[in-house]
Amino acid sequence: MIKNGEGDREAPMRYLMKFGGTSVADGRSIGQVVELGGACRRSGDEVAVVVSAMRGVTDGLIACAGEMATTEHPDATPFLASVRERQARALAEVAPDQMDQALGEIDARLASLANILQAVHTLRELTPRSRDYIISFGERFSAVVVAAAFRQQGFRSEPLEGGAAGILTNDCHGEAMALPESGPRICERVVPLLADQVPVIMGFMGCTRDGSVTTLGRSGSDYSAAVLAAGIDADECWIWTDVDGVMTSDPRLISDARVIPAVSYLEAMELSYFGAKVLHPRSIEPAMAKGITIRVKNTFNPDYPGTILIADGVPSRRVVKALSFIDRVALVNCNGAQMIGRPGVANAIFSALAEREVNVMMISQGSSEANISLIIDEGHLEAATEALIPLVTCGLFRELSTERDVAAVAVVGSGMAGAPGTGGRIFTALGRQGINVMMISQGSSEANISFVVRGDDGPRAVRALHDEFRLSERCDDE
């Protein structure tokens, strides 16, 4: 609750709180979720909660669906039993009085899941649509448990599917995008609940106009959170996770990575796009469009202030703020003097890739125009090759070469714009380590310089730059 200044009348704040897979992994963590959301609600503020699946459940659903479609005698029973056991254990811990109702809901959902898995096996066919329906079950289970835990503590609370909460998406199953109509639908459906409930919305999922369930891409609950925060016109969107905030690098890779107190939306977008898993890349824009403050905080260390995402960031003397890294990408080179001065070549390359649904992550074109290099997900390499070979055959360019097992590293910081010499420092530091750079790209925002190295060199490159820019040391204006 904040004072609104004039006459010190207290105005309630409206929060959207998203809890990730680790934050709802078991009874102890869910107890913490209720503690955090409940404290806010008790102080008179409005809270909508978004949850991910319990950690590991979505991976299990993906594996199980794949087995049902491809193996002769699959048995989903042990997996389903382990999921039930996990939810039941959490319920017993945090919602003992709600056990009958909640476990009844879980069992009904498990029965639907078992039916669809059986249908996948009978048909030996896993369509993108049925896959999405199946993999959305993780959030269906966790939302039941979390809502029951809120009820146990005396709050009114019900689980709500992403679609029912108003998230309307296109039909790009597996990577669906929210449509603009979602905003008014969310407002109409969720805002009235906030007066006397803590709605628990299933992250990661939405639905199409014809009512089929879609998922928003792996780690997509962050995106759900931002779309919902924009829809309810939240004052703040809090992403509760298992680290203290957005850090100078992935702490699993760099043990002395440090939390960054404030980053701009742009910096966060660049970092997440290049693999900083702490936020989904699409989770910034919906909040940014409405000027909603995003905070990233640790469910297990809630007193720590975390990271705040704001429009322009805070001016910092630090030129480079953070580094991110994606492995398992592939490099595609299109070479040939035929391309020089010929309009439409880039268009032909990108159209051919788009037709095969290959997403291009980075682009670089030599100034001679005789080369266009692209970075794509390694899993799309076959489709990309099939898409581009016809362009070689018809003489658009001379040669197509590809390389697997490369890594893309992004060096991020808005201070790089107008700070001459940063590129020099980056590539000198890499040179000192004997790391060969295969491709370089700088976005026009100048908040990001990204480059590609061999897969093995990726972690070494991040380490070298973390040291070069002294990112583990606190800067006195932070």
Residue 253 has, within 13 A of its CA and on its CB side, a CA count of 24
| Cα→Cα distances 345→148, 356, 401, Å | 57, 17, 17
From the list ligand ASP, Mg ion, ligand ADP, none, pick the one residue 242 interacts with, judged by a Cβ distance below 5 to 8 Å according to partner type: ligand ADP
Indicate the pairing of strand 46-51 with strand 159-160: unpaired
Copy the structure tokens of residue 75.
């048995």
Told to check if 242 binds ligand ADP by CB under 6 A, we report yes
Question: How is 180-222 classified by DSSP, letter by letter?
Answer: TTHHHHHHHHHHHHHTT---EEETTEEE-TT--EEE-STTTHH
Among 136, 208, 215, 219, binds Mg ion (CB under 5 A): 219
Name the closest residue to ligand ASP (Cβ).
221
Kindly tell me which of 241 and 264 has the beta carbon lying closer to ligand ASP.
241
CB of 264 to ligand ADP, least distance (A): 14
Closest approach of ligand ASP to the CB of residue 58, in Å: 3
Instruction: By CB under 5 A, name the one of 18, 19, 20, 67 that touches Mg ion.
Output: 20
For residue 262, give the 3-state DSSP assignment.
strand
Angstrom distance (rounded) from CA 329 to CA 160: 36
C-alpha 36: how far from chain center: 22
For residue 390, the tally of other CB atoms under 10 A from its CB is 11
The interface mask with ligand ADP, positions 258-277, x = CB under 6 A, is -------------x----xx
Instruction: Name the segment binding Mg ion (CB under 5 A); options: 20-28, 242-250, 329-337, 437-445.
Output: 20-28
The tokens describing 98, both together, are: 């709600």
**Which of residues 221, 249, 264, 450 is near ligand ASP by CB under 6 A?**
221
Which residue has 């990575």 as its token pair? 257
> Smallest distance from the beta carbon of 165 to ligand ASP, in angstroms?
15
Residues 205-224 that bind ligand ADP (CB under 6 A): 219
Residue 204's binding partner among ligand ADP, ligand ASP, Mg ion, none (Cβ under 5 to 8 angstroms by kind) is ligand ASP
Q: Determine if 204 is a binding residue for ligand ASP (CB under 6 A).
A: yes
State phi, psi for 100 to the nearest 5 degrees: -60, -50
Q: Name the binder of 249 from ligand ADP, ligand ASP, Mg ion, none, CB < 5-8 A by kind.
A: ligand ADP
Tell me the C-alpha to C-alpha distance, in Å, between residue 187 and each of 200, 300, 349: 15, 31, 41
Contact of residue 58 among ligand ADP, Mg ion, ligand ASP, none (CB under 5-8 Å per partner type):
ligand ASP
Task: Establish if 252 lies at the interface with ligand ADP (CB under 6 A).
Answer: yes
When the beta carbons of 216 and 339 are compared against ligand ASP, the nearer one is 216
Instruction: State the minimum distance, in angstroms, from the CB of residue 147 to ligand ASP.
Output: 17
Of 223 and 469, the one with the shorter C-beta distance to ligand ASP is 223
Q: Which stretch binds ligand ADP (CB under 6 A): 123-131, 243-251, 287-295, 410-418?
A: 243-251
Helices (H), 263-324: 265-273, 285-289
Tell how far CA 420 is from the center of its chain.
32
E strand segments, 336-444: 360-365, 371-377, 399-412, 439-442
Contact 90, 57 (CB under 8 A): no
Residue 17 contacts ligand ADP per CB under 6 A = no
Smaller CB separation from Mg ion, 20 or 281: 20
Task: For residue 8, give every residue at least 6 positions away whose Cβ sits within 8 Å of its Cβ, in sequence order, or none.
Answer: none
Q: How many helices (H) and strands (E) does the chain have?
A: 14, 18
- Residue 101, H or E segment: helix 99-123
What minimum distance in Å lies between the beta carbon of 24 and ligand ASP? 9
182 interacts with ligand ASP by CB under 6 A: no
| 60 touches ligand ASP (CB under 6 A) | no
Residues forming the site for ligand ADP (CB under 6 A): 20-23, 52, 219, 241-243, 246-247, 249-252, 271, 276-278, 322, 324
Binding site for Mg ion (CB under 5 A): 20, 219
Which spans of this chain sit near ligand ASP (rule: CB under 6 A)? Answer: 20-21, 52-53, 58, 138, 203-204, 218-221
